[in-house]
Structure 1
Amino acid sequence: MQYDALIGQVQATAALPGRGAAKRAVHAVLRTLAERLPDGTARHLFAQLPADLAAEVEGAEGPGAETLKGGPAAERFDLPTFSGRVAWRSGVSEDVATRYVSAVFEVLDAAVAPELMDKVRAALPRDIGQLLPSARVDDPSE
């Protein structure tokens, strides 16, 4: 999937007013997801994203940057912390941030290999994983 298409799909899925808000949402969710995922899973995810998007998110400074650059393994935190970090990074309320997370997860689910999304789902606690599209949450292999 191309960068512009990914941003446009997040904008449409989250019913955002413009591409700037969609871009902020994508960046906030991906940075927070990189903090939560094991290093190898985060690297594989970013390798399947459009190169310019991965470069923008990886080039950002602040919390989570070291994870994308080969730093520490996953932090352990739950949905309220995840949503709180996304809210802080994107400048919205936690309720809006949770909507952002759902929209970005839905677009990622369509954009990357299904096996990788299975690994992402397995690495997340159930409360965050429930924001993934229902086909992933209701996986009969559990």
Structure 2
Amino acid sequence: MVNEKSFLYLWVIVFLALLGKSTQNCPTTVAFHANSLSNTQLLPGNKLVFRVIKVNQGGAYNSRSGIFVAPQNGTYSFNAHLCLVAGNALGFDVMVGSSVYSSTYARGYTGCGCSSVPAIAVLKQNDQVYLRWKTYSHTSSSVICQSIPQSTFTGMLIN
């Protein structure tokens, strides 16, 4: 069965063909949404790995390594949202290669405390983006809430 999005995409290809235009430079859909951290006992410098992939159009997010690899040049938008158990502090970075693009810090006072951080980056093909745990103390062996609200990592090609 053809859904509306598939039909529209097919229509655009046919329309461009009738105009004599190539579809080679049409942007590829690149988007991912992952949750459920696989590593909840975190050490400074560790990559945050989200094991459950809800969306992975373009296949650029790897749920074993926690790394997004840009499939093409472009401007990308990322957002990370982490929630931690009460009595703990968290800090994490959005990394592009070895460069920090954005950082956040939060402390959980009651229930699950959350912090989000956005990042927009101009990437070249094969650039890597991931989340890195920072050096903050915590008092329990598992600092990340595994219930609602959920910790997530998302990204998409925007241009």
Q: TM-score, normalised by structure 1?
A: 0.25
- Between structure 1 and structure 2, the one with the greater Rg is 2
